[in-house]
Each structure stands twice: as C-alpha cells, then as structure tokens.
Amino acid sequence: DAKTTQPPSMDCAEGRAANLPCNHSTISGNEYVYWYRQIHSQGPQYIIHGLKNNETNEMASLIITEDRKSSTLILPHATLRDTAVYYCIVRVGLYGGSQGNLIFGKGTKLSVKP
C-alpha cells in the first residue's frame, strides 16, 4: 500500500504557484520522497526527489518538513500544461541492493485554470 496521503484534487489559477501537500508520517530514515506526475494518457514523468533537505530543479521545488513527516511540491508559475495527476511516493534508496520499485497511490489531480 502507498505510504503517503494526498488530497484527491486541487485547483490553481494559471500563473500562480501551485502547492501540493503530501503526508508521509511513517517515513523511515532511509526513505526518499519522490514526486511524479502523469498527464492524461501518458506515462508518469519524474519531477523531483529529496531525502531531508529542500530541493529545487527546473520543474519544481520540494519542501520537506524538519521531522520529514510531510512535504510540499511547489510549481512556482503553473501553466495549463501542468494539469495532471501528481503522485507523492516514498521509496528506499536504490543503493545496497534495494530494487526501488515505486508504490503509487491515487495522487492529486491538479487542474490549472485560465
């Protein structure tokens, strides 16, 4: 079963920041937080991941609370093309022989509106 809890849906105005929350209260010390998104009829797309520090890349920022029990994915300037289902996943690191398969929940359906 997925180890994360996300709201089923969210709306965001185009050009505004989209803040997608995720709860992972049972996360273990060796588990990373990953975010993927899935645009309709396409395969999931990797966005970002982190262990305990905040991370930023060209797509998004990931803010992880100090106790690591929750995180927020931030899309700084949402566009209509960001409309998708966003999945928050916790996953052990791939080193040390872990296979690293992703366990998806139902995600958050983000609708970006003009």
Partner 1 sequence: DTGVSQDPRHKITKRGQNVTFRCDPISEHNRLYWYRQTLGQGPEFLTYFQNEAQLEKSRLLSDRFSAERPKGSFSTLEIQRTEQGDSAMYLCASSPNTEAFFGQGTRLTVV
Binding site for partner 1 (CB under 8 A): 2, 34, 42-46, 49, 85, 87, 94-95, 99-107
Please report where in the chains the tokens 């300037």 appear, as a residue: 77
Please report how close the Cβ of residue 31 comes to partner 1 at its closest, in angstroms: 13
Closer CB to partner 1, 97 or 114, in the complex: 97
Residue number with CB closer to partner 1 (45 or 79): 45
Question: Is the distance from CB of 58 to CB of 51 less than 8 angstroms?
Answer: no
Q: Which is nearer to partner 1, 42 or 53 (CB)?
A: 42
Output helix, strand, coil percentages for the chain, rounded to the nearest 5: 5, 45, 50
